[in-house]
Amino acid sequence: MREMMQRNIRAAVRTGGSAALAALLLAGCVEQPVRTMAGPPPRPQRLFVYPSRGQSPEQQDRDRYDCHVWAVKQTGVDPSQASAGPYERVVVQPAPGAATFAGAVGGAIVGSMIGGDDNSGVGALLGGVAGAMIGSAADANAAAQARLTREQIATERANADSYRRAITACLSARGYTVR
The more confident residue out of 40 and 119 is: 119
Tens of pLDDT along 156-172? 888 888 999 999 999 99
Q: Is the pLDDT of residue 121 over 60?
A: yes
- Confidence tier at 71 by pLDDT (50, 70, 90): very high
Rounded distance, CA 44 to CA 39, Å?
Answer: 14
- Confidence tier at 30 by pLDDT (50, 70, 90): very low
* Number of domains into which the chain is organized: 1
Using an 8 Å Cβ cutoff, are 32 and 94 in contact? yes
> Buried b / exposed e across 55-72, counting CB within 10 Å, b at 16+?
beeeebeebbeebbeebb
Neighbours of 115 (CB within 10 A): 19
**Residue 98: domain span:** 2-178
Burial of 88 (0-12, 13-18, 19+ CB in 10 A): exposed
Q: What is the pLDDT of residue 84?
A: 47
